[in-house]
Amino acid sequence: MTRRWTSPASSSSGSTPPRRASDRVGYRLAELAAQVGGRVEGDPERIIEAIRPLESAGPRDLSFLKDPRYRGQAAASGAGALLVGLSLVDAVPGRDLLVADDPSWALARLLAVLHPEERRPPGVHPTAILEPGAEVDRQAHVGPYAVIGAGSRVAAGAAVLAFVAIGRDCVVGEGAVLHPHAVLYDRTEVGARSVVHSGAVLGADGFGYATHQGAHHKVPQVGRVVLEEDVEVGAGSTIDRAMLGETRIGVGTKIDNLVQVGHNVVTGRHCILCGQAGIAGSARLGNYVVLAGQSGVAGHIELGDGAQVAAKSAALASVEPRTQVAGIPAVEMRRWRRQVALLSRLEEIVRRLRAVEKKVGEER
């Protein structure tokens, strides 16, 4: 099941050398428009090699204009063409344009086309350690000093980069990428096309203790962590394994850097967890839930589909579907805004109240 290479850059005899990120390939503007279902205003034959910001783009670069406030900067840019949405077609007259219905999605797609990631050669680096029973598909990549535990499986197209540590009986799905120094504890499963960034730890013990006779006794955490397909886990984030059963991250969920997910948490599909958010044990998130930066979710509560928790807020009770909450404790967004408005007037209200009390006292 495994193949080892003789040097990090080598591949099988006669195969195409790995493409480097620096190998630029030019595309006609019309070809790029076809990639995103857009259209060209101007010269469809213009050659584009890269995407760059307005201020540094050159004649073979595509740049983008998403905010009309920057139309002056766009007009002065040296970019060969501009990516715009329908509302900005007339913002910069005389420029070659790639017009897309959804310019943000189009930008993401074109970045992948014009700036592809380097293809990693299949094979196992000679310094990697595979314990007996570990299986690595012949089309997978295992980098220098990676460790793969007994009974673990790495599927075709997956990339386990330098110094990754994979415990026993783990699964790394097709096309998944584990960046340097990512850690998978025993029995962790990473779904197809998922990405785990450097320093992330999946499957560490959940924070569970029983206090007995004045001492804290560890509750064994015998469950596991499962990432479903197309999940991304940011650098330095941690997802604890369940006490029993699974901590499960749903399809397409994106987790920012420095996020903490407690044991037995379950998220639905396509959730967004922003930096420094924290979810306590056994909380359940529906589909498309958003936790903004530094927000917190208490344990054993539920956030319904489409619920959103504002930055630096703490959801201490369950949240209804499609509801935005903010504050500590978090309340419905409109109520929180009223509270903030009243708080800003608190000194004035106190002064007026004291004036009324003084007047009433004098009249007596």
With contact defined as beta carbons under 8 Å apart, do 141 and 155 qualify? Answer: no
Which DSSP string corresponds to 135-171?
A: EE-TT-EE-TT-EE-TT-EE-TT-EE-TT-EE-TT-E
Catalytic residue among 179, 263, 270, 300: 263
Task: Return the DSSP state at 4.
Answer: B
Provide the 8-state DSSP code for 88: G
The enclosing H or E element of 123 equals strand 123-124
Catalytic-residue membership of 300: no
Cα(17)–Cα(282) distance, rounded to whole angstroms? 47
- Residues near 356 by Cβ (< 8 Å), separated by ≥ 6? none
By DSSP bridging, strand 209-212 and strand 215-218 are antiparallel
Residues, the chain: 364
Give 69's DSSP letter.
G
In 3-state terms, what secondary structure has residue 352?
helix
Q: Which two tokens stand for residue 258?
A: 């420095």
Cα distance between residue 227 and residue 220, in whole Å? 22
- What residues are annotated to the active site? 263
